[in-house]
Amino acid sequence: RNEGEAGVHGGPNGDLYVFLTVEKSKKFRREGQDLLVTRDITFPQAALGTKLEIEGLDGPLELKVPKGTQSGSVFKIPHEGLPYVGQAHKGDLLVEIRVVTPTHLTSRQEELLREFEQTEEGNPISKVKKAAKKLFSGKKS
């Protein structure tokens, strides 16, 4: 108030209005005071667990990704988001994990994955595949 141009004929100064436009970030998506970022990891990193360096607003942060992490999992790094106006605390940094499947495998990698697949006989997906194969092959057991 009264921070604008001088008033006419000795009247009070005008008001100053400031308009801001916030440009979208190339690194973060925003939801209120929380920031969201997506990080790609490999299948071995997801299965075995890993540590990731995540870029935060104030510098690098470390995120421990536990064993067995699924694609789409979201991890929260508290108080690393945007500050609340007029308050001391900040929102959170949310990290969405995306497990990337390789599109080109070496023959050795393919061999290892086939070997791994053989050890997965007891998992629910293998049971469904076996049941479907039996159902559609027309064979009775």
pLDDT digits (tens, 9 = 90+) for 35-46: 999 999 999 999
Structural domain harbouring 68: 26-101
Q: Indicate whether 108 and 94 sit together in one domain.
A: no
- Structurally, the chain folds into a number of domains equal to 2
Burial of 81 (C-beta count, 10 Å sphere; 0-12/13-18/19+): buried
Q: For residues 95 and 63, what is the distance between their CA atoms, to the nearest angstrom?
A: 9
98 bridge partner residues: 40
Q: Can you give the pTM of this predicted structure?
A: 0.70
Q: Indicate whether 97 and 37 sit together in one domain.
A: yes
Q: Indicate whether 86 and 131 sit together in one domain.
A: no
Q: For residues 27 and 40, what is the distance between their CA atoms, to the nearest angstrom?
A: 13
What's the mean per-residue pLDDT of the chain? 87
Q: Indicate whether 122 and 64 sit together in one domain.
A: no
pLDDT grade for 134, boundaries at 50, 70 and 90: low
Q: Indicate whether 78 and 108 sit together in one domain.
A: no
Residue range 92-98: average pLDDT? Answer: 98
Residue range 79-102: average pLDDT? Answer: 94
Instruction: Count the Cβ atoms, other than its own, within 10 Å of residue 92.
Output: 19
Q: Indicate whether 116 and 92 sit together in one domain.
A: no
